[in-house]
Structure 1
Amino acid sequence: MSLAEALGYRPDEKLLIVNADDYGMCHAANEGIAQLLAEGAVSSATVMMPCGWAKEAVEWAAAHPQTDVGVHLTFTSEWTPYKWGPVTRHGSVASLVTQEGYFPADSASFERRADPEEVRTEIVSQIELAMRMGVMPTHLDNHMGSLYGLGTGRDFLGIVFDICASYGLPFRIPRYVDMGLEVPAEAAKTAGLRAAQADAKGVVILDYLLGLPFHMEKGETYESFRGSVMRLLRALKPGVSEFILHPALPAEELKAINPHWQKREWEFRLFRDPEIKGLLAAEGIRLIGWSELQRLQRASR
């Protein structure tokens, strides 16, 4: 049985989760993502618990329990002027941080140094912190792919699947890697193996994962970016797909953090755009949330 059928849909239906990553990263992201969630322009979001504005994001989510909000497991801190580190307060997580006490800026540095048990500790700490603040996460995903082994080939997905099974949380990993994502060839080859591992643990995963480069391309405009997204959506296959966004409002705060801030403002506009809405309707693409996958996983335990 396909995932779509297990969720109660026809096998030929095109089901799309639009997830806003980096909730809690800054106030500009929080304002934009909360608005999109309230409007139904995105179907879920994931909070970066180590970031300074996570509390604001989680408080909004706790006050709006009908929204699908998960945890964006974070082990990297990529922006030069703005840094964050582990939320673990008891026990050592020294292998996860730089000399300054922050997460490293890139996934490869994290993968080379991270102790698996400290990774496990910090994953649990991030989930538990969200829960103590009042959010019952609908799912987990991962900031910058640090847990997937995209930098060096050393992944931590076995640990992730164990924790997902324990908490009853589905996880962002695609069963099939052919929707335009830029992933190393080796990672694409092991996608089937990882899907089998998730299945064995009873962890529900996606069929497909969609996304576009997060940085500004040379000569790119909002219209050309929207056109690229529309081409991806027209090529959507039957099953459950997720489209990753990093939306935010174009505040001075965001501009000080991110040199590609304008791309995040475009992503805020994207699924509010009448042309995108019209395309979703014309193609028969149905937006669903991660909570549907979570209910399936918990019902199957």
Structure 2
Amino acid sequence: MAKYYDLERLGYGKNDVLLMVHADDAGLSCSENAATIEALETGIVNSFSIMVPCPWFLDMANFAKHHPQYDCGIHLTLTSEWKQYKFGPVLPYSEVPSLVDKQGFFHAKRELVKKFAKPQEVKKELKAQIDRALANGINPTHLDSHMYTLGLTKELLSVYRELGHEYQLPIFLSDQLLSEVGNPLSLQEGDNIVNAVHIGNLKAMESIGLDEWYTQQINNLKAGFNVILIHTAFDNMEMKQVCVDHPNFGSQWRQMDFDFFTDPNTAKLLKERNIKPITWREIQKITL
């Protein structure tokens, strides 16, 4: 069956606590890009991934091309969840009709992707996204899935695996995330999974605050490959309009992510706990 990555092959000990702080959604907006770049350059974010279909993709692609030292993945995208800010496929929507709504935008909810998306059209569109990233000078370190949509069904997960194999890139797999999207039994032999994934939640944000929640998570990290998934952006006018009526992963949330993971006290906490950074570029060495 699926197994955890053999990190001892990279020189780590079996009791080492390894952490990737990964920023999703680069390319979504100017605000998202600016905050992600600053978090990479001044904070402890050590991995990010780009949404190719979004309007600000080229800006972030240019950064990735000229800063290859940073871990950069392709955030394979099949949904457009915002109320008034929409985007659609890289391909003409006539070529992938099962992936779009009546206006030609990606479906707003994962459930609609699960209901309507045809796997062959999913693969066609996602190959186009990867190819566009490559054509713009990105040297990706991995593939991951926006809203973990590629984990919804065994068929979509098969497309995910096929893309990783065809492009010789590790894919972000998590039994935890598969369970959260309602597909817990679809892993198979040969799959490599991370040990644990940590994502903030709206209840914590509104009660103890994300700073305290992240601090608790860091203090309780276990040995192995841990991922904290964040979404860095500035709480400015642009991002407020993108996230209108969407407090979950909204503009305020994204500012909190930026603030916490660029705070020197957070870096100090990791050092005190002897938590070691790990990247997909390292993982490539034991998977390819």
1:185–1:73 CA distance, 2 compared to 1 (3 A): closer
How far apart are residue 108 of structure 1 and its match? 0.5
Q: CA RMSD in A?
A: 2.2
Bigger RCO of structures 1 and 2 (CA < 8 A, at least 6 apart): 2
Counterpart of 1:201 in structure 2 is: none
Q: Conserved in 1, the CA contact under 8 Å of 2:35 and 2:232?
A: yes
How far residue 6 of structure 1 moved from its aligned partner, in angstroms, is 2.4
Contact 1:46–1:70 (CA<8 Å) still a contact in 2?
yes
Query: CA deviation digits over 1:3-40, x for unaligned, max 9?
Result: 22122211111111111000000000000001111225
The within-5 A match list for 1:179-190 is 183-184=179-180, 186-188=182-184, 190=185
Letter of the 1:273 counterpart: D
**Alignment match, 2:70:** 67
CA distance in 2, matches of 1:288, 1:227: 23
Report whether the alignment pairs 1:139 with 2:124.
no
1:291 aligns with 2:284: no
For 2:124 and 2:284, the matched residues in 1 are separated by: 23
List, as ranges, runs of 4+ consecutive aligned residues in structure 1 with deviation greater than 4 Å.
215-218
Q: Does 1:258 align with 2:243?
A: yes
2:87 matched to 1:54?
A: no
**Which residue pairs with 1:148 in the alignment?**
151
Task: Give the equivalent residue in structure 2 for 1:274.
Answer: 264
Q: Deviations 1:229-284 (Å, cap 9, x if unpaired)?
A: 11111221111111100010122100111143111000011112233222211211
How many residues in Structure 1 have an aligned counterpart in Structure 2? 280
SS class of match (2:20): strand
From 28, 31, 54, the equivalent of 1:28 is: 31
- Give the CA deviation at 1:218: 7.1
Residue 183 of structure 2: SS of its match in structure 1? Answer: helix
Which residue of the other structure, out of 84, 87, 90, is the alignment partner of 2:90?
87
Matched residue of 1:146: which SS?
helix
Partner Cα separation in structure 1 for residue 242 and residue 108 of structure 2? 14
SS in 2 for 1:102: coil
CA distance in 1, matches of 2:163, 2:94: 18
Which residue among 219, 231, 255 is the counterpart of 1:234? 219
Q: Distance in 2 between matches of 1:219 and 1:36?
A: 23
* Structure 1, 279-288 or 25-34: larger mean CA deviation: 279-288
1:210 aligns with 2:206: no
Identity %: 31
- Residue number in structure 1 paired with 2:247: none
Q: Match of 1:45?
A: 48
Change (3 A) 1:195 1:12: farther
Residues 75, 110 of structure 1: 8 Å contact kept: yes
Whether the 8 Å CA contact 1:4–1:15 is kept in 2: the answer is: no
Name whichever of 21-30 and 246-255 sits farther off: 246-255
Gaps in structure 2 of 5+ consecutive residues: 245-249
- TM-score in terms of structure 1 length: 0.86
Amino acid at match of 1:45: F
Contact 1:4–1:13, Cα closer than 8 Å, also in 2: no
The CA distance in 1 between the partners of 2:105 and 2:266, in whole Å, is 39
What are the ranges of 5 or more consecutive residues in structure 1 without an aligned counterpart? 199-203
The aligned counterpart of 1:196 is 189
Worse-matched range after superposition: 42-51 or 271-280: 271-280
Distance 2:93 2:113 in 1: 20
